[in-house]
Amino acid sequence: MTNQAAPHLLAVEDLAVEFDTPQGPQRAVRGVSFEVGECETLAIVGESGSGKSVTAQTVMGLIPLRARVAGGRVVLEGRDVVGLSDREWRKLRGERIAMIFQDPLSALNPSLTVGYQIAEMFRRHRGMGRKDARRRAAELMDQVGIPDAARRLDDHPHRFSGGMRQRVMIAMALALDPLLLIADEPTTALDVTVQAQILRLLRERQRTDRLGMILISHDLGVVARAADRVAVMYAGRIVETGTVAEVYERPAHPYTLGLMRAVPTSRDGGAPLEAIEGQPPSLTDPPTGCSFHPRCPFARDVCRESDPEPRVLGPRRASACHFTEEVIANARER
Ligand code: SF4
């Protein structure tokens, strides 16, 4: 599953992340591999606890407390960044790789004006004087669609609406021209109209700045609008990958199929949605064989005994299921 068309900005190879818990090590991420190229958006989807946010945080060098990288590599522009010092990470973050979060309020300092917080990035990283840094902050706020930007520099974060705060976050993330942007549920807290505006803004900036992007989301509607490719995670593993069209039109893993069936479409006409039965498994004591078998309508004996390896189905398409063909055939009948 390599991309011949564009050089990879990022390649994650066989990544494993473990948490120390009183019950023993918890494998939050297992054997995760993917790449992201210039101008490309990879969405990572899955239920909460699937490992998608831990993966993103690890790529960003923000490994959660009590967690450690137990194996694999995170290669950014050809350099393995696992194990870099805090000092090296501070330099990479913002400059090469930036992140926007679901809740900008938690990432912004409530006691400082928005203009000060953006300008501070130019002062600290670019050595700009106060006046120039303020001017650049206003330009950037204008570029992300904040009306009357020069006047709003002196407002504190709580004076902005949720959508405008998310624009401020995007301005801060883009301030130092990073190559890779990680967006963790960036529109979850916003209403549908503002959500669409923010996704459009991200898409536009991605094209003009040739950004690679990782979009973390549980919302398949958002992913369909914003991503090029999808990686579906379950219990710490990627269970299916492909382009948005491939995965949405012909899901090849029962978990993906379940996620799709839980999304309302115009065809449903208000029919009740089929939620996936059961709960995600314990990561300290995962089920034998395929982790999805206790919830899987396709499960047979072999699924309880053997964990399926990813099967390559196309140039950048794979599914980790013993009965992939059956699932694809079933998806066609939807
Ligand atoms: Fe279901 Fe078996 Fe495929 Fe796992 S391997 S997803 S249990 S059919």
Each residue's pLDDT tens digit, 55-104? 999 999 998 888 999 999 999 999 999 999 999 998 898 889 999 988 88
Same domain for 46 and 187, yes or no, is: yes
> Is a pLDDT exceeding 80 seen at residue 3?
no
> Is a pLDDT exceeding 50 seen at residue 51?
yes
Same domain for 80 and 185, yes or no, is: yes
Helix 86-95 × helix 114-126 angle, to 10°: 110
Same domain for 210 and 275, yes or no, is: yes
Element (H, E) at 31: strand 24-37
Q: Decide if 72 contacts 17 (C-beta within 8 A).
A: no
User: In the chain, what is the greatest distance between 2 CA atoms, to the nearest angstrom?
Assistant: 69
Q: Name residues contacting ligand 1 (CB within 6 A).
A: 253-254, 290, 292-293, 296, 298-299, 303, 308, 321-323
- Ligand 1 centre to CA of 262 (Å) is 18
First and final CA of the chain: distance in angstroms? 28
User: What number is the average pLDDT over the span 156-170?
Assistant: 92
Same domain for 84 and 17, yes or no, is: yes
Among 49-58, 75-84, 200-209, 320-329, whose mean pLDDT is lowest? 200-209
Q: Which of 94, 96, 95 is nearest to 74 (CA)?
A: 96
pLDDT of residue 314: 93
Same domain for 239 and 130, yes or no, is: no
pLDDT of residue 72: 97
Q: Which residues contact 225 (CB under 8 A, 6 or more apart)?
A: 196, 199
Domain that holds residue 124: 109-177
pLDDT of residue 6: 54
Same domain for 220 and 315, yes or no, is: yes
The per-residue pLDDT for range 259-306, each reduced to its tens digit, is 988 876 655 554 545 678 888 888 888 899 999 999 999 999 999 999
Q: What percent of the chain has pLDDT over 90?
A: 66
Same domain for 20 and 54, yes or no, is: yes
pLDDT of residue 7: 62
> Is a pLDDT exceeding 80 seen at residue 323?
yes
Atom of ligand 1 nearest to the CA of 255: 6
Same domain for 163 and 303, yes or no, is: no
What CATH number should be reported for the domain holding residue 240?
3.40.50.300
Same domain for 204 and 297, yes or no, is: yes
The per-residue pLDDT for range 205-237, each reduced to its tens digit, is 888 888 999 999 988 888 999 999 999 999 999
Residue 121 lies in a domain: yes
Same domain for 125 and 258, yes or no, is: no
Residue 2 lies in a domain: no
The per-residue pLDDT for range 106-147, each reduced to its tens digit, is 889 999 999 999 999 999 999 999 999 999 999 999 989 999
Q: Residue 296 and residue 146: Cα distance in Å, rounded? A: 47
- Ligand 1 centre to CA of 188 (Å) is 30
**Going by DSSP bridges, is the β-strand pair 41-45/212-217 parallel, antiparallel, or unpaired?**
parallel
Point out the domain boundary residue: 177, 211, 232.
177
Residue 266 lies in a domain: yes
> Is a pLDDT exceeding 50 seen at residue 1?
no
- Ligand 1 centre to CA of 80 (Å) is 33
Q: How many structural domains are present in the chain?
A: 2
pLDDT of residue 90: 87
Q: Residue 42 and residue 244: Cα distance in Å, rounded? A: 9
- Ligand 1 centre to CA of 309 (Å) is 11
Nearest CA to ligand 1 atom 5: 321
Residue 101 lies in a domain: no
> Is a pLDDT exceeding 50 seen at residue 333?
yes
pLDDT of residue 266: 53
Q: Residue 74 and residue 93: Cα distance in Å, rounded? A: 14
> Is a pLDDT exceeding 50 seen at residue 18?
yes
Q: Which of 137, 210, 144, 200 is nearest to 179 (CA)?
A: 210
Q: Decide if 254 contacts 321 (C-beta within 8 A).
A: yes
Point out the domain boundary residue: 154, 177, 200.
177
Point out the domain boundary residue: 177, 204, 236.
177
Same domain for 16 and 48, yes or no, is: yes
Same domain for 254 and 154, yes or no, is: no
**Going by DSSP bridges, is the β-strand pair 237-243/317-319 parallel, antiparallel, or unpaired?**
antiparallel
